Amino acid sequence: MRHEMLIRTLASLTACCVLTVPAAEAFEYRQIEGWAISCNNAYLCNISLTPVAGTGPAPLAIQWQRTVAPSAPLVLSLPYPPGFLPNGDDKGRLAIDVDGVEDFSANVSDLVRDDQLGAFAIKDPVKLVALFRQMTEGHEAIIRYDGVIGRHSSRISLSGLKDAARFIDEWQGRAGRSDALVSVGEAPPPERVAIWSIESYDQLPPSILRNLSDPESVCFTDQSHIDQADAFAYDTGKSTIMLLPCGPAGAYNQPYQLFVGRDQEFHRAEFPNVSDAGITVLDTVYNVNFDLASKTLSSVYLGRGLGDCGLAHYWTINAEATGNPLALTLERSKTACDGVDVGPENWPEIWRPAMGTTEAVER
């Protein structure tokens, strides 16, 4: 999923010069000058060039990616130039100049190709860190391709790239650590992180697969569904929680289910909920977001894509719990899809635990 997420974004860039971020795959999204930053629930982050519409032919796109793992390497991805397929071009050469100096070059024959996705993935940790830091200090770069199919180049502004990198350092908790991109300090990275992406059906234990593999199940989930969704796992210390897609996404709502367990033994858990009938639970919620710093989980069911109506839940994660680790802290709801109060943070509160009681706020 990680690589396909990267390339789908790049394909959008190359095809129409507009960055499109699938809702199920972007927990955090920022635009800093010409760069788009998107991070998923497992804190895997991309920095993508966002070409300006109306400025001529689409430039060769560029995207950087880094996971939250300690000392994780940078990955650079470049889509194929126009005309590269169907025959390919093993004699081609890619190069990147920063402020008039060639800082990176590679022969196509030495790169990892994915003809299905139409992109090169470049994985050379030492060279890529040096190139990236040179770009964050530069003013402009030229991405060049020279081969049998012709020459293609694009000139891009590097303004904002350093701020984008600084944001990712902060978001991934690296600021002040030796493995930061630009906010480098002396603090060593931790030995491990407690969160990771679920990218493959094969990563799931049999106790979960039994719940997902029945084609007649409402929440039947296979590899294609995992590819669509931002599936992830978080180790609380006492147990591991996994948020997995409950089948395919709708137009703007991706359903999720929750599994809790340890090692190979997991059970399906519920999401605490308050309704007119009282305290209940939900089997499925939508568009889940996870905040690693505050150990909170939220979901937002959108009444429509604009985000001006729907239902939102907020839970804290009890690291000591061995059963269901979620405790409901807030519900928001807005039923009128009227074009105002866009975003769940602007919807009325319909429930929060009153001091010392479980009474709902007045609806």
Q: Is 0.85 topped by the overall pTM?
A: no
Distances (CA, A) of 261 to 209, 230, 267: 13, 20, 6
- Give the closest residue to 40 by CA, choosing from 318, 288, 248, 225: 288
pLDDT of 13 over the 70 cut: no
Q: 54-63, 151-160, 166-175, 231-240: lowest mean pLDDT where?
A: 54-63
pLDDT number for residue 260? 94
Q: Per-residue DSSP letters for 171-214?
A: HTT-TTBTT-SSS--SBPPPS--SEEE---GGGS-HHHHHHH--
Q: Provide mean pLDDT across the span 29-55.
A: 83
Domains and CATH numbers, the chain: 2-171 (2.60.40), 195-351 (no CATH)
- pLDDT (0 to 100) of residue 321: 77
| CA distances (Å), origin 90, targets 31, 84, 111, 114, 233 | 35, 10, 10, 13, 40
pLDDT at 169: 97
Tokens of 195: 């969160």
- Asked whether residue 6 carries a pLDDT value surpassing 80, the answer given is no
Q: Which two tokens stand for residue 186?
A: 């002396």
pLDDT of residue 2: 38
Identity at 84, one-letter amino acid code: F
**Residues 124-133, mean pLDDT to the nearest whole number:** 92
Reported as a pLDDT band with limits 50, 70 and 90, residue 176 is very high
Check: CB of residue 76 under 8 Å from CB of residue 62.
Answer: yes
pLDDT of 304-313, one tens digit each? 999 999 999 9
Q: Which two tokens stand for residue 352?
A: 């929060």
Closest CA to 118 of 34, 61, 68: 61
DSSP strand pairing (195-197 vs 255-262):
unpaired
User: Is it the case that residue 177 has pLDDT exceeding 80?
Assistant: yes
More confidently predicted of 63 and 357 = 63
128 to each of 23, 74, 273, how far by Cα in Å?
29, 7, 47
- What is residue 174's predicted lDDT score, i.e. its pLDDT? 95
For 293, what's the count of Cα atoms within 13 Å in the CB-facing half-sphere? 5
Do residues 246 and 218 lie in contact, with contact meaning Cβ atoms separated by under 8 Å?
A: yes
- Please, are residues 4 and 227 in contact by the beta-carbon 8 Å criterion? yes
* pLDDT above 90 for 358: no
- What DSSP designation does 72 have? P
Q: Give pLDDT, residue 226.
A: 86
Specify the residue for token string 């070409």.
51
Q: What's the sign of the alpha-carbon dihedral 259, 231, 272, 320?
A: positive
Which tokens in the block code for residue 126?
């030492």
Q: Which long-range contacts (CB under 8 A, 24 or more apart) does 343-346 make?
A: 343/307, 344/298, 344/300, 344/307, 344/310, 344/312
C-beta of residue 124 within 8 angstroms of C-beta of residue 110: no
pLDDT tens figures, 216-262? 888 888 888 888 788 999 999 889 999 999 988 888 899 999 999 98
Choose between 319 and 300: higher pLDDT. 300
Angstrom distance (rounded) from CA 244 to CA 139: 42
- Percent helix, strand and coil across the chain, each rounded to 5? 20, 35, 45
Decide if pLDDT at 23 tops 60: no
Write out the DSSP string of 235-287: E-SS-EEEEEE-S---SS--EEEEEEEETTEEEEE-EEEEETTEEEEES-EES
357 has a pLDDT exceeding 70: no
Mean pLDDT of the chain: 85
What single DSSP character describes residue 339? S
Which pLDDT score is estimated for 240? 94
Instruction: Give per-residue pLDDT as tens, 196-212.
Output: 999 988 899 999 988 88
| pLDDT band at residue 26 using 50, 70 and 90 as cut-offs | low
Q: Which of 112-116, 257-261, 279-283, 327-331 has the lowest mean pLDDT?
A: 112-116
Q: Return the pLDDT at 51.
A: 57
Mean pLDDT computed over 178-188: 96
